[in-house]
Structure 1
Amino acid sequence: MSEILVKHSVKKRIKEELNTSYPTVQSALFGMTDTQLAREIREKALQLGGVEVKSEK
């Protein structure tokens, strides 16, 4: 799964809006998790200007 890059302020906003923890947001954006919440986090990040980059893993 690819990574989504966003500014710290966007990560903080997602954390607050979705009422979750910062590590959960990080894991979702790094593509390490694939839960319903992770998909919502990734979708929100893209809506807020995030850039998806291919992972070299």
Structure 2
Amino acid sequence: MTSDGNGLGADFDQWKRLADELTEALAALERGESGARERVNELSLALRLRNDLPFQHALY
């Protein structure tokens, strides 16, 4: 795969960065690190707003 996600460009790169950061934040939450819950919430919101898929609204 190319660095731009096979033509998806910056959108894929941004999604991948957020997903990687969320993975790290979830690990920090599991370890009980201070501030981890807030970081998970921030990153989850950023991913939801970025994707803005119609079915997500029905889940909340």
Structure of greater Rg: 2
TM-score interval for Structure 1 and Structure 2 normalised by the shorter chain: 0.3 to 0.5
TM-score normalised by structure 2 residue count:
0.35
TM-score, L = length of structure 1: 0.36
Q: Which has the higher contact order (CA 8 A, sep 6+)?
A: 1
